[in-house]
Structure 1
Amino acid sequence: MAVLKVIEVLANSDESWEDATKKAVAEASKSVKNIRSVYVNEQSATVDDGKLKEYRVNVKITFEVK
């Protein structure tokens, strides 16, 4: 049986929600090992002059505790 833990991470990107998600996982993996999955909980964006400026995600990252 594995023991899993979930943390919530916020990230942003100028490119896309997918890129913001990748950045969240990359940043979390600097201090968290054995990441198993990522769940995109929320997506939002900022708008400037009628155009999307920044993509934001709120993700839940699941990792195994050893």
Structure 2
Amino acid sequence: MSIYRVTEVIGTSPTSWEEAAREALTAASLTLRDLRVAEVAEQDIVIDDRGGIQQFRVKLKVSFKYEVPWNAATAHAGAGAQPHA
């Protein structure tokens, strides 16, 4: 049985949404292991004072395998069992 956790990360780029997504995934991969799926949750653009595009931004929902600490896994091994009367 596997359990996955989802977290949100935001990447930015002056050139494209694709590059912004790459930046977000690169940063996430530095601290999260076993990345599985990234879903684009939002895309937006920061507009400069002349009306041009200053930045592309992408919010990603990234899933990764959740690692249960060994002692927590064994402590909950009997979870769901009926208490004795």
- Where do 5+ consecutive residues of structure 2 fail to align? 68-85
Q: Distance in 2 between matches of 1:12 and 1:29?
A: 16
1:1-66 equivalences in 2 (<5 Å) = 1-48=1-48, 49-66=50-67
Percent of aligned pairs sharing the same letter: 33
Q: Which has the higher strand share?
A: 1
Query: Higher RCO, 1 or 2 (CA under 8 Å, sep at least 6)?
Result: 1
RMSD, aligned α-carbons: 0.9
- Where do 5+ consecutive residues of structure 1 fail to align? none
How many residues matched? Answer: 66
Q: Which has the higher helix share?
A: 2
SS at match of 2:41: strand
Query: 1:51 deviation in Å?
Result: 1.7
